[in-house]
Structures are given as C-alpha cells and as structure tokens.
Amino acid sequence: MERREFIKNTGLICLGCIGATALLQSCSNAYYVQSAFDANKLVVRKSEFTEVKKDKTIQHTFVLVKTDTLQAPIYLHKFSDTDYSALLMVCTHKGCEVNPHGEYLICPCHGSEFSIRGKVQNPPAEQNLKSYTVTTDNENIFIWII
C-alpha cells in the first residue's frame, strides 16, 4: 500500500469511528416507553421520566413514546411538571424519522433540524414537526391524538 492510499484509508476509518460514536451518543440517551391509546389520547406515567438502574436514579428530560399504531415514536420532552411538548418524530421534509440530539431533533436524511418545541431551525424542512396537545394530572401525562 502506498503512503497516500494508507493516509486516505486511515482518515476514512477515523471519520467512520467519529460518526459511529456520535450516533451511539445520540441514541444512548434515548429511553423508550410503550403506551396504548385510551380513547383518543395516549397516557404516560410521569414516573417514566425517572429510571432506576442498579443503585443509580436517572432523571430523563425526554422519553420516546412508542405505540402500535403511529408511524414513528412521539418525542415527549419535560420542561416542568406541567409543561411538556409532544412531537411526532417524522421529518416534514420527506418523512424520515428524526433523532434527538441535545436540544435538537435532527433528520439523518438531509440534515433538517428542529427545536425541542418542534420549530424548524435549519432547512430543507419548511414546516414544524407535528405536535400534540399535552395535559397532565398528578400522576399522568396525556397526549391528545386527534
């Protein structure tokens, strides 16, 4: 192998490792909960934001709500005990599933970025993510799918 080819191959391997690490980091914080419909709403217990692992308690700022019927999970972000945002994780550009990454939801297909309130931050998407009305009681979060 010639020196130039070696450097090129090594560089590509390094880029691949960096990309894989970034992908794993963005997925490692994702915490899925399963929810079923109760009439026209999904019910998620507030306690789902608290995960107990061995002797550690983790407070999640968001959970991904899976259902049997929606085409993608719902990104449910907790701003306070009574303030949540619920966003369908389908990019409004061409329909790819977006990924949570820090304070943004990023589309892996063409790079659109959305805020955790669902607002477009970077194109090519032009429309905000589909959002749902959220209400709460003392123990539960209700996502209204109408």
- Compute the C-alpha angle 143/75/56, nearest 5°: 105
Residue 106 is a binding residue for ligand FES (CB under 6 A): no
Contact mark string toward ligand FES, 43..82, x via CB under 6 A: ----------------------------------------
Listing DSSP states for 74-139 in one string gives EEEEESSSS-EEEEE-B-TTT-PBPEEETTEEE-TTT--EEETTS-EEESS--SPPPEEEEEE-SS
Strands 41-45 and 140-144: antiparallel
Query: Contact region for ligand FES (CB under 6 A) — 9-17, 55-63, 74-82, 109-117?
Result: 109-117
Burial of 68 (0-12, 13-18, 19+ CB in 10 A): exposed
Among 61, 124, 136, 140, binds ligand FES (CB under 6 A): 124
Among 48, 88, 93, 118, binds ligand FES (CB under 6 A): 93
Contact mark string toward ligand FES, 15..44, x via CB under 6 A: ------------------------------
**Binding region for ligand FES (CB under 6 A):** 91, 93-96, 107, 109-112, 124-125
